[in-house]
Each structure stands twice: as structure tokens, then as C-alpha cells.
Amino acid sequence: MGKFGKKDDDESEFLFENLDKGQVVQEKRAFNESPIHPRKCSLVISQFLYLLSRGDTFTKKEATDIFFAATKLFQSKDIPLRRLMYLLLKELSSISDDAIIVISSLTKDMTHKIELYRANAIRILCKITDSSILPQIERYFKQSIVEKDPHVSSAALVSSIHLLKVSPEIVKRWGNEVQEAISNKSNMVQYHALALLHRIKQHDRLAVIKLVSNLIKNSLRSPYAQSYLIRCCVEIIEESNTEDRIFREYIESCLRSKNDMVAYEAARSICSFKNVSAKEINSAVGVLQNFLNSTKPTLRFAAVRTLNKLAQTNPTAVVPCNLDMENLITDSNRSIATLAITTLLKVGNESNVERLIKQIANFLGDINDEFKIVVVDAITSLSQKFPKKHKHLIIFLNKILRDEGSLQLKQATLDAILTVVNNIPESKEIALTELCDYIEDCDFQDLTVQILHLIGQEGPLTSSPAQYMRYIYNRVLLDSGIIRAAAVTSIAKFGLLYEPMRDKVIILLQRCLLDEDDEVRDRAILYLRLFKEDDIHYLSKILMDDVPVPTVNMQKSLEVYLHNGDFSEPFDIATVSTVVETAQSPMIGDGKSPFATGSKKSESNVTSPKASGSAANDQEGPESYGTKLSAIPQFSGYGKLLKSSEFIELTETETEYVVNCVKHVFKEHIVFQFNVTNTLNEQQLDNVSVKMVPSDPKLLKYECSIPIDALPYGEPQPCYVAIRYNPANGYPLCSFSNTLKFKVREIDPSTNQPEEQGYDDQYSLERMEIVPKDFLNRAYVGNFVEEWKAISEDNQLVQTFSLVGVKTIDEAVKQIVKTLGMATAEKSEVVQPKAMKHILYLSGKSLSNQLIYVRARMKLDQSQTNTDVELTIKSDSEELNEFVISAFN
Amino acid sequence: MDIYQIFSIIILDNNGKRLCSLFYEPIGEPEKIKFEKEVFEKSKGSNCELDIIQNRIIIGSKQSDVWVYVVGKSLESNELILLDVLNVLISLFKKACTNNETVMVTKKLFLENFSTIKLYIDEVVADGVVFETDEDTILNRVPLQDQALNDLQTGIELVKEKFSLSSLYSFTRS
């Protein structure tokens, strides 16, 4: 039986869990009974406290009513009940409207003879007073601060800390009282007084220095106060460049404190200093080293976390702890182990890396997959630091690959190997040999396919390509259809890239002609034919070029193309969106993507798909726009849709009305599609349209507007505005101010139907621009560099400018790609980490299908805060060049 | 440097459901639930939790089917202060639930002594400031109704009500 009375056996075992708010609110009448039944009231208060903690929401009125009722309990002389009442009032004070009514009762309690009343009354008061009331009760606060009883004094001090935010001017007048409280015999009062005094004097540096210097001599007892004082010292040292040694000496003396909290605070403060002597840092690290061997996990965690941070700035200082940290690699607490290993790898140097890897290899069996992935990541970054050690790293990664493990771990490991291979060309051969061995006995189809792809890509370029052929052909003999298909492609690549083997490759391909799998046969036939015709150019295009768009989007576009049934024009890959929809599951595991390669790394790392910002519009792929728009009678005469922009948000995502826009460009028209979402469930919007005012009305002519008839809550719908422009006069680059116009009809809560009467309203949206990008499409070229050379320099335009505030090359690349909306070529969008300069290649075409080539050479300027760019544009029209460059004006 | 050391105190049951949570910064209910969930997911499968989530240090401990976490305000938090708070909380919870120190705090006991536990937490942390961590001091500051005396009083009250003694008094006096 619980303390709160009897309960039936068939009720939930946890009687509070089923509390109903409505019922409990009724129970508040218990507070009004006379005489007051302490026990009954206590139970009711407990129930309220539980509901509040559970997250039930109380309306302002409910909270105020309960608050009022509870004030009746001031009459009770039952101390436990009073204590509970104070807690309830405090929790409700932030929700209730009229908390101020209890001020007189509380003020009375501040002078009550029972200390518990005084302390608790103060703690509520600080929540409900404001600058107008505080002066009236100021003297009670001052009295309470200097009170001998620690409960009252602490309450007054902590409350004053909160009040500093409300009425700083008044609290600052209490300095003398607070100073007196520092000598209170209670540890906690000391701490609270120190913190308050420091805050009061915060803006007076000399006063702070004086305060801290005095307290250093006074030797505080409270570990909390000492830790706080250490932080004060750090602040003084960092901000005032003081020559005075006493602050540093104090911190150093705290290292020897018997209290772990103080010693730790001192140690980590020293580790954070910018200028620190070897002696200081050694004693600090010594303290942390002791913690590393503590039986308490929290101490080990604190120490290894601090060392991990120190390893970034001062790796040599951490080295003495290496042995202790190696022991932590097998710590039962995952966080400690992870920190230990990443610290070790940070301090690792060329000479001990091998030993470290061996060490880690020894405990691999003891740790779970999730943690192994952390290790794999750490190893990957190590490979960049010590490229010479690639052999050990590759062998280590291979060991993980071969051991038991989940697909996720294996994929991460394979990705890591691919990263190493990409960064360190010398590691290629050993990696390939190891991987060849691995696929002989690999349980994961997807991994085998990816590895075959890699071998096909890199194998022919090694010193002895022939050795790999056996492994690949084994797959053709032994594995399933998908793997066989990948193997056939891989074989063909050897024939393409390594001529001496071409004849043998043809023989092997011929053997695949009778394969039972259609895909395998088809591939073999295609490759054979091309080999026989000696069409190396086409063969290389088929075999070596990655599909430039995500396969999912490609599939969608092809389906739309087939569905439309209009085959007068060939399918154009440039119409396929390159935006990867993150909500899609990564390619691994669906078995349908034999071309999944290492370059898809970013996808496979997406473990938790991020919710897309414009979730409401996700289902609408760009491919379907053309069909949809031409189905609208007003737009049917506009001809073929040439280009649709991405979504442009015209509101914040959390406003009452969420609007985004897509610009559809036709030969002589532009249609603006506004997707509007009504996020207010208490109203319906009628006749919703967007009024657009152009900055330069001469460039265009208004055509028509199609409003949304009725827009209920939560269902996004589009409205349209169409304009006409004359392409002979150039594209209408201008901006628009936009206003959403609509009629509001409230929803009647009783019927859930909108009311008859409504009123007109409007809502301003963000401005929107028509930019050059809206008239440029992506284009894909096989060999950018060759085609670039082929165009004479007479047809080029060079311009240099600076991207102000762009601090990294990666950011600059993204910005340029975004501004031009063209396709990147030669994988030039990949930037080496910490690169200072870079060349980016882009290819695109105008709406009339003129090809455009762009080369952007960029480099960080000397201050490393801006990026200088030299942009070269080549196309067969000067005007077009000018138009492209105008995107950066 | 901050005197506000504690971001929140979170107590969950074995399924990650909230038994009691105090957040000392104004954040909405959905964010609270999200944070609790993240904390719980990370600590599954261990008995002692140490982690960094959303740039806050989290120290937790499992008591049979109850998880208690103390969440620091930032990465600057001193882990040992959080540990001090956690230790005193758990020790107080045990006192609140049972007289026997060796018995673990269970969900059932926790809910049965909910208000006492709330009072204890209130005495340990005040709006994110560590208020007091000395166990005896706190026990003195939270007076509890004496169970035996209480039962007796309630009994008397019940009897009074039943015989309407009070109304009888007023009747005779008038």
C-alpha cells in the first residue's frame, strides 16, 4: 500500500500514471475546507505536481484558480503541508496571471519565526516581484542575506542572483550585505555569496581583482566556491594580462586539493591556458593522469575529455598519459573508450602509430559495431596524417571487413578503404589485393558489387593488371546475377583500359553470352560488339562515366517520359534533377544498384534521414511539372516547359502561412507557382492569390493569375501568376515584392465548418528575383578539358571578382555552383580539405540549347576571409557570355 | 563562467517514459521530450551514462527500473559538480522511498513518494543553481509528515466527520 491511500487491485500498479487532469482540478476544493486536512491537501498538491511534471498543460485560468485556492493554505500551521504549498505556488507562479496577490502573504512569511517559511517565501518572491515591488521589500532581502541561518541566507542569495536579471540596479546596492555573507559558516552560503558578489562587480575589473585577491588569501572551504574562484582567476588572467602571479599560483595550489572537484577544475583551467609553462601543464596533466586510473567512471570521463581537448592544441603534453589511455580503450563505458581512442590517435606520431593500431586490433573482438565505426573513422583521419603508414591501415581495415559484423559496419569500413585509396595512390595495389581476397568469401552482395566496381576502375592502371582477372572471373562462375553483371562490366573495363589484355577479355566476355541472367548477357553482348567495332570512345563513355544524376531521379524521369507517350524528342538527361532526396533510403540494401560506388559515400553515411525543409512539396518531383502545367488551360498555349527553378521559400517555415515559389520558364512566358500552406486550424482561406509588383514593369507584361478557391488547414495548394516577356529584348531580370491576399473565414468549432462571413486580409511575403540561373540548364559533357580546349579563346569572357566573406574554398565552390545552376564536370566540385586554391569546371546550356563552359579559378586572399575568383566563360555567343557573368553582379 | 550549472534533471522509467523532469531553461514540451528521448536512447544498455548530447554533458545512473540523469548547462560544466548533484539526488531518493539503504529505488516506490522526491530536488537545485548538496542539511529542510501520527490524526478526523462533531459544537453553542 502506498502512502497515498488504498488502491484497488485491478487499478494500474502506478496509481499516478492514470491521473486525469480534469478530476484533479476539481480536487482543489480540498484547500477550501475548514479545518484544513493536511494529509488530504498534501495528496492533492502531489497530484498537481505530478501533472505539471508530466507535461499536462494548464490554461491560465485553471492555473490562476488553483493558485488562488492554494493560497488558503497559508492558514495551515502544518509545516510539511506548508512546504508543499510553497513548491506548488512556485511552479504555478509562471503560468498563473495573478501571482502578485500572494506578495503580502509571502512578505509576512519573510519575517516569520520559522526559518523554513522565510527561506521558501523568498524563493517564490524572486519569481513574482518586479522592479516596482522590489523596493518595498528590499530591506527584508538585505536582512535575509546576512541571516545566520544558511537556509535563509542561501535562499536570499540565490534569489538575488535571479533578480539581477530583473532589477540589476537594486540588487547592486546590496554589495555590503553579500560581502558579509561570504564569511557565513555554511559552505553553500559562501559559494552563493561569492557568485553573487562577482556578478554585482562584473563590470568593474579592479573591484573583481580586489575581491578575488582577498578571497585567495582567505582560503575558502566550500569546494563549489573554490571551483568558482578558480574560474574567476582564469577570467582575470585571460582578460587583464596581469603580471601578478598570485592568480596562477592559486590555481596551481588547487591542483593539490584533496577535493577532486577543485583539483579537476584547476587542472582543466591550466589545460585551457594559451600561454602555459611546461611545469604548469605537467602538474595539471599529472592530476588528470591520476583520474584516468580512478574507479569512478565520471572521473575517468572528465580526465579523458580534458586530455582530448588538450591534444588538439598541445599533443606532446598528453603523451605521458598514453599508457593509461590505452587501458581505457577497453573501458566498459563507451564514451570513455571513444574519447580515449580519439585522443590517442590525435597524439599518435609516425613512430607509435603501428603499435597503436596493433593495440586496437587486439581488443576489436570486445567492442560493438557502433564503436567499431568510430574506430574506423579515426583510422581514416589517421591515414591523412600519416600517409606512409597506409599499409598498416589498409590491413587493419581489412581485418574489420573480414570479421563478423553488420552491413553498416562493413559499408563504413569499405568507404574508409576507398577514402584511403583515393587519398594515397600508393595504397591502391595493396588495397586491391586485400579486397580481391575478401570478395572470395563475402556475404554481402552490395559490397561485392562495389568492390568489383573499384577493381575495374583501378585494377587496369596498376603494375600488373592480369593478377586481378582470376578473382573477377571467379565471381562470374560462382555468384548471383547482380554480382555476375558487375563482374562482366569490371572485366570489360580491363579490356578498355589495358590494351594488352583486350583479346583475353573478349574471350571471357564470349563465355558470358550463355548466362542465364538477361542483364549479364545484355552487358556482355554490348561490350563485345563495341570491342569488335573498336568504338573505344563510346565504350569508354559507357564504362567509365558515372551517371551524372541520382539513379532514383533518373528512374522517375524515365517513367514520366514513357508515361507521356510523346517520343518526338529523345529523352534528355539534363531534365533530370540532380537534387538527392535525402528521404530516400541509401542505395545499400536494395540490391538494385550495381553501380553504387565509393563516391556515394555521403549517402551511405546518412543513418537518420533528415526531414526535408519543404516536406509538403516533396512528392512533387520537377519532372512532373510540365505535364501538370500544360493541363491548366490558361498555360496550355505556352509551349514546352524549358526550365523550373528549385523551391524558393518566401516565408519562414513556422509562420501562419507558409509560401514557397517555383519559377517555370517558357519560351515567352514565366509562370510563378506559389505553394501555399495554411497552418492555422481555426480558419479557412478563400480566394488566395499572390500580388506581385515588379521592380521594372517595362520588362514584362502581366498575363493572368489563378487563385486557390478554398484553402483549408494543412493542405498545401498552388496558385499561379503568369507573365509574358519578349525574348528578343533579353530576359526580364528584375525583382518582385509579393503580397499574399485572401479572405479569412473562421472555423466554427461546434460544426467544424467555416462560417459564412469572412474578411479580407493580406500577408507580406519575401521579395523574389528573376536571375540568370532561371534561364540556364545543366549540360553534361564527356571530357570537359578537351572540349574546353577545342573552343577558341576568341569566344571567351574573363572576369575577376571577389566573394566577400567566403572563408573556405568549399564554400566558394558551393556558392558558384548555386549561382549558376550548372552541372559540375570532372568531379571538380570535390575540394581537398584545407585547400587554398581550386579550379572548378561547370557546363550548362542556354534555353536554346547553346552549350556554355565555365572555368572558375579561385583562391583565398591573404586575409583568408574572402575568396578571389577568376571566371572564364566560353560559348558561341558573346551575349550569352555576358548574360552568364551577370549572375554575379 | 556561470553559476547556472544545471540544465536539467531527468528521471525516466525503463521505457524512457518521463517520471519527473525539471528543465531550468524555458524550452517547449516537444523539445523536452525530444531531449529525453535522445538521452535515453544513448544510455540504453549501460548502467552508468556519460555522454555529450547537444553540447551538454550528461551524467546518469540506473537504479533498478529508474534512470536518473543530471544534465550540465554546457561543455564547460564541471563533471564532478554534476556527479555531486547526481549522488546526493540518488541518495535522497533512496531515503524518500525506503528506510533501507540497500534497497534500490523502483518506479513504483518513486511514484508513491513523488511529492517528497520533488521537494528534495527543489532543495538540491534552484533554477539551475546548485542550492545545497549536504544530505543531512536537506533532510532537515524537508519536514515530512510523521506517518504514524498522521494515520492517527486522519483517523480522528474521519471519526469527527462521521459524527459531525464540529456541527454538533456549533449547534450547542448557538
Q: Give the least confident one: A575-579, A660-664, A733-737.
A: A575-579
Residue A255's Cβ-count burial label (10 Å; 0-12, 13-18, 19+) is: buried
Task: Report strand pairing: A669-678 vs A657-665.
Answer: antiparallel
| Share above pLDDT 70 across residues of chain B, in percent, rounded to a whole number | 78
Mean pLDDT along residues A419-439: 87
pLDDT at B152: 62
The torsion angles phi and psi of A548, rounded to 5 degrees, stand at -75, 0
CB A294 within 8 A of CB A300: yes
CA distance A325 to A197: 40
Asked if A195 is an interface residue toward chain B (Cβ–Cβ < 8 A), one would say yes
Chain A residues touching B9 at Cβ < 8 A: none
Query: How far are the Cα atoms of A516, A591, A722, A767 from residue A476, in angstroms, in the given order?
Result: 11, 17, 57, 59
Residue A543 corresponds to which amino acid? Answer: L
CB A126 within 8 A of CB A162: yes
Asked if A57 is an interface residue toward chain B (Cβ–Cβ < 8 A), one would say yes
- Which residue intervals of A705-783 are DSSP H helices? none
First-to-last CA distance in chain B?
68
What is the DSSP code string of A875-889?
A: -S-HHHHHHHHGGG-
List, in order, residues 6 or more apart from A376 with CB less than 8 Å away. A397, A400, A409, A412, A413, A416
Query: Which conformational region is residue A37 in: left (phi greater than 0), alpha (psi within -120 to 50 degrees), or beta?
Result: beta
List, in order, residues 6 or more apart from A843 with CB less than 8 Å away. A778, A779, A780, A781, A784, A822, A823, A825, A851, A852, A853, A854
CA neighbor of A170 nearest in space, from A150, A152, A149, A145: A145
Report CA Rg, chain B: 20
In a domain, A822, yes or no: yes
- Domain end among A770, A805, A824: A770
> E-assigned strands of A582-716?
643-644, 648-649, 657-665, 669-678, 683-694, 701-706, 708-711
CA distance B45 to B51: 14
Quote the minimal CA–CA distance from B172 to chain A in Å. Answer: 19
First-to-last CA distance in chain A?
78
| Share above pLDDT 70 across residues of chain A, in percent, rounded to a whole number | 92
CA distance A527 to A751: 69
CA angle A475, A480, A484 (to 5 degrees): 45
Asked if B150 is an interface residue toward chain A (Cβ–Cβ < 8 A), one would say yes
CATH classification at residue A857: 3.30.310.10
Asked if A187 is an interface residue toward chain B (Cβ–Cβ < 8 A), one would say yes
Contacts from A761-764 at CB under 8 Å and sequence distance 24+? A762/A691, A763/A656, A763/A657, A763/A739, A764/A737, A764/A738, A764/A739, A764/A740
Query: How far are the Cα atoms of A445, A474, A596 from residue A439, in angstroms, in the given order?
Result: 9, 10, 16
Record the cell numbers describing residue A374, joined without a space: 568510430
Between A310 and A363, the more confident residue is: A310
CA distance A17 to A51: 9
- One domain, residues A793 and A836: yes
The torsion angles phi and psi of A63, rounded to 5 degrees, stand at -60, -45
> Minimal Cα distance from A159: which residue of B?
B126
In a domain, A644, yes or no: yes
Using H for helix, E for strand and C for coil, what is the string for chain B? CCCECEEEEEEEECCCCEEEEEECCCCCHHHHHHHHHHHHHHHCCCCEEEEEECCEEEEEEEECCEEEEEEECCCCCCHHHHHHHHHHHHHHHHHHHCCCCCCCCCHHHHHHCHHHHHHHHHHHEECCEECCCCHHHHHHHCCCCCHHHHHHHHHHHHHHHHHCHHHHHHHHHC
CA distance B134 to A696: 73
Report CA Rg, chain A: 36
- One domain, residues A561 and A598: yes
- One domain, residues A784 and A765: no
Residues B59, A298: C-beta atoms closer than 8 Å: yes
CA neighbor of A674 nearest in space, from A707, A702, A701, A700: A707
Among B35, B56, B71, B114, which would you mutate to test the A interface (most chain A Cβ atoms within 10 Å of its Cβ)?
Answer: B114
Residues B154, A37: C-beta atoms closer than 8 Å: yes
- One domain, residues A710 and A756: yes
- Domain end among A747, A770, A793: A770
pLDDT at A586: 33
- One domain, residues A629 and A753: yes
Chain B residues touching A231 at Cβ < 8 A: 1
Residue A559's Cβ-count burial label (10 Å; 0-12, 13-18, 19+) is: exposed
- In this predicted structure, the answer to whether residue A18 has a pLDDT above a threshold of 60 is yes
What is the tally of structural domains in chain A?
3
Residues A296, B83: C-beta atoms closer than 8 Å: yes
Asked if B107 is an interface residue toward chain A (Cβ–Cβ < 8 A), one would say yes
List, in order, residues 6 or more apart from A765 with CB less than 8 Å away. A650, A651, A659, A690, A738, A739, A740
Quote the minimal CA–CA distance from A571 to chain B in Å. Answer: 46
Asked if A258 is an interface residue toward chain B (Cβ–Cβ < 8 A), one would say no
pLDDT digits (tens, 9 = 90+) for B33-51: 999 998 898 887 666 678 8
- Residue A862 domain boundaries: 775-888
Using H for helix, E for strand and C for coil, what is the string for A353-403? HHHHHHHHHHHHHHCCHHHHHHHHHHHHHHHHHCHHHHHHHHHHHHHHHHC
Chain B residues touching A268 at Cβ < 8 A: 78
How distant is the alpha carbon of residue A471 from its chain centre?
A: 42
Residue in B59, B83, B114 closest to A46 by CB: B114
CB B114 within 8 A of CB A54: no
In a domain, A566, yes or no: yes
Single pTM value for the model: 0.61
Mean pLDDT along residues A668-678: 91
In a domain, A174, yes or no: no
pLDDT digits (tens, 9 = 90+) for B65-107: 899 999 999 888 999 999 999 999 999 999 888 777 667 888 8
pLDDT at A152: 94
Residue in B1, B115, B145 closest to A38 by CB: B145
Q: Give the least confident one: A61-75, B11-25, B34-48.
A: B34-48
Query: How far are the Cα atoms of A224, A225, A237, A714, B159 from residue A218, in angstroms, in the given order?
Result: 15, 12, 20, 65, 61
What part of B 28-87 touches A (C-beta under 8 Å)?
29, 32-33, 46, 48, 50-52, 59, 78-84
CATH classification at residue A743: 2.60.40.1480
Mean pLDDT along residues A876-883: 87
pLDDT at B158: 61
Query: Which conformational region is residue A821 in: left (phi greater than 0), alpha (psi within -120 to 50 degrees), or beta?
Result: left
- Domain end among A728, A750, A770: A770
Residue in A2, A80, A264 closest to B78 by CB: A264
pLDDT at A599: 37
Record the cell numbers describing residue A479, joined without a space: 555468384
Taken as a whole, chain A contains a residue count of 889
Among A16, A58, A335, A369, which would you mutate to test the B interface (most chain B Cβ atoms within 10 Å of its Cβ)?
Answer: A335
CB A713 within 8 A of CB A678: yes
- One domain, residues A820 and A691: no
- One domain, residues A702 and A740: yes
Confidence of residue A337 (pLDDT cuts 50, 70, 90): confident
CA distance A686 to A606: 41
pLDDT at A747: 85
- One domain, residues A765 and A636: yes
- In this predicted structure, the answer to whether residue A283 has a pLDDT above a threshold of 60 is yes
Average pLDDT, chain A: 83
Residues A333, B142: C-beta atoms closer than 8 Å: no
Between A121 and A541, the more confident residue is: A121
Q: Give the least confident one: A598-607, A644-653, A807-816, B27-36.
A: A598-607
- In this predicted structure, the answer to whether residue A550 has a pLDDT above a threshold of 60 is yes
- One domain, residues A849 and A791: yes
Asked if B22 is an interface residue toward chain A (Cβ–Cβ < 8 A), one would say yes
pLDDT at B1: 55
Most confident by average pLDDT, A123-137, A474-488, A688-702, B81-95: B81-95
Record the cell numbers describing residue A172, joined without a space: 547592486
CA distance A573 to B156: 88
CA distance A708 to A83: 59
What part of A 196-225 touches B (C-beta under 8 Å)?
199, 224
Confidence of residue A11 (pLDDT cuts 50, 70, 90): very low
- One domain, residues A803 and A878: yes
CA distance A380 to A253: 41
pLDDT at A712: 87
pLDDT digits (tens, 9 = 90+) for A236-271: 988 877 777 889 999 999 999 999 999 999 999 999
> Minimal Cα distance from B18: which residue of A?
A54
In a domain, A329, yes or no: no
In a domain, A862, yes or no: yes
Asked if B115 is an interface residue toward chain A (Cβ–Cβ < 8 A), one would say yes
CA angle A373, A378, A380 (to 5 degrees): 95
In a domain, A408, yes or no: no
Most confident by average pLDDT, A575-579, A791-795, B54-58: B54-58
Asked if B126 is an interface residue toward chain A (Cβ–Cβ < 8 A), one would say yes
Confidence of residue A588 (pLDDT cuts 50, 70, 90): very low
Quote the minimal CA–CA distance from A266 to chain B in Å. Answer: 11
Record the cell numbers describing residue A421, joined without a space: 585509396
pLDDT at A457: 86
Quote the minimal CA–CA distance from A740 to chain B in Å. Answer: 30
- One domain, residues A562 and A646: no
Residue A477's Cβ-count burial label (10 Å; 0-12, 13-18, 19+) is: exposed
- One domain, residues A747 and A632: yes
Most confident by average pLDDT, A604-618, A800-814, B152-166: A800-814
Residues A42, B154: C-beta atoms closer than 8 Å: no
Quote the minimal CA–CA distance from B21 to chain A in Å. Answer: 6
User: Grid cell 536512447 — which residue?
Assistant: B41
Mean pLDDT along residues A675-703: 88
CB atoms closer than 10 angstroms to residue A357: 22
Confidence of residue A193 (pLDDT cuts 50, 70, 90): very high
CB A489 within 8 A of CB A542: no
CB atoms closer than 10 angstroms to residue A798: 14
